[in-house]
Amino acid sequence: MTDTMIPRVQLGDWVATFVDWLTSTFRPVFDVIKTVLLAVYDALETVLHAPPFWVVAVLLAALAYAAKGWRLGLGTLVGFVVIASVNQWGNAMDTLALVLLASAIALAIAIPLGIWAARNDRVSAVVRPVLDFMQTMPAFVYLIPVVTIFLTGAVPGIVATVVFALAPGVRFTELGIRQVDKEVVEAGHAFGSTPGRILRQIQLPLAMPTIMAGVNQVIMLSLSMVVISGLVGAGGLGGDVVAALQRINISLGFEAGLSVVILAMYLDRVTSALSSRSPVAKALATTSA
């Protein structure tokens, strides 16, 4: 009875028409974006693939050691040896390149947008429902218009990952800045500091632990979406996961999945350790102790 009373709204058709118009109208712009993203991705791939396995593994383990100590460094080295032993090193480096590029783009958009939203209530009111939409929309849905615009390969995977991972970066940045004590900000105004100087020297340093938590979430979401992007030919570990699913290949699926877990643990531990090294995080840890 409800179907006869409420007229059918062709919302999906309107969106499809809009995407078709967008694709045809801005095709030159999308081609430039695709070329630039592919060039940067290929450069990252070259950097990660060119040296021998042990060189990259030792360098990444050294970063983990510098971030948190010898236990994380040793665990990183063991984890990467496991990835290489199951013949997933090349795919893992492809995935790492995708995650690094997508995360960098997402953070380059999210942090300035979060700062703007924290300093302007109207911007925050507009951005919040958009972020809600981005976070609740199923991840697979992002792939459909992106594939229509960029076809298949690494680029649609990167773009879809950026859209999917963007929201926590904006939210955590806005939250961190809004949580800064207003009396501290007012003291900066009283001493004649400009808004830009207050942002750089007061708000951002005090909000850094929260912002870094957002960075961690952006990287984790990027990794999860990169695997899903294997459905559109993005390659890497996601490609092997999809291939294992299509062939019902348990061994390949487990090896690729285990490599994803190791890579996720490495990125999570390193970014978490780096966030705890900020002066404000150290001061809070000392105070709580």
pLDDT at 278 over 70: no
The first and second tokens of residue 94, run together, are 């492809």
Mean pLDDT of the chain: 84
Please tell me the predicted confidence (pLDDT) of residue 111: 92
Residues in the chain: 289
Q: Output phi, psi for 211, to 5 deg.
A: -65, -40
Please tell me the predicted confidence (pLDDT) of residue 170: 92
Please tell me the predicted confidence (pLDDT) of residue 109: 93
Domain boundaries, the chain: 12-50+86-288
Per-residue pLDDT tens over the stretch 177-191: 888 888 887 787 787
Decide if 43 contacts 169 (C-beta within 8 A): no
Higher per-residue pLDDT: 2 or 157:
157
Could you write out the three-class secondary structure of 34-90? HHHHHHHHHHHHHHHHCCCHHHHHHHHHHHHHHHHCHHHHHHHHHHHHHHHHCCCHH
**Percent of the residues in the chain that have a pLDDT greater than 70, as a whole number:** 94
Per-residue pLDDT tens over the stretch 95-112: 999 999 999 999 999 999
**Percent of the residues in the chain that have a pLDDT greater than 90, as a whole number:** 18
- Distance separating alpha carbons of residues 81 and 121, to the nearest angstrom: 49
Per-residue pLDDT tens over the stretch 20-47: 888 888 888 888 988 999 899 889 888 8
The candidate with the shortest Cα–Cα distance to 114, out of 161, 177, 160, 208, is 177
Whether domain 12-50+86-288 has CATH 1.10.3720.10: the reply is: yes
Question: What secondary structure letter does DSSP report for 248?
Answer: T
Decide if 114 contacts 169 (C-beta within 8 A): yes
Q: Please classify residue 21 by burial: count the beta carbons closer than 10 Å to its beta carbon, then call 0-12 exposed, 13-18 middle and 19+ buried.
A: exposed
The candidate with the shortest Cα–Cα distance to 271, out of 226, 215, 203, 211, is 215
Question: What's the predicted TM-score (pTM) here?
Answer: 0.86
Q: How confident is the model at residue 1 (pLDDT cuts 50, 70, 90)?
A: very low
Per-residue pLDDT tens over the stretch 210-264: 888 889 889 888 888 877 777 777 778 888 888 888 888 888 888 888 898 899 8
The first and second tokens of residue 35, run together, are 């070329």
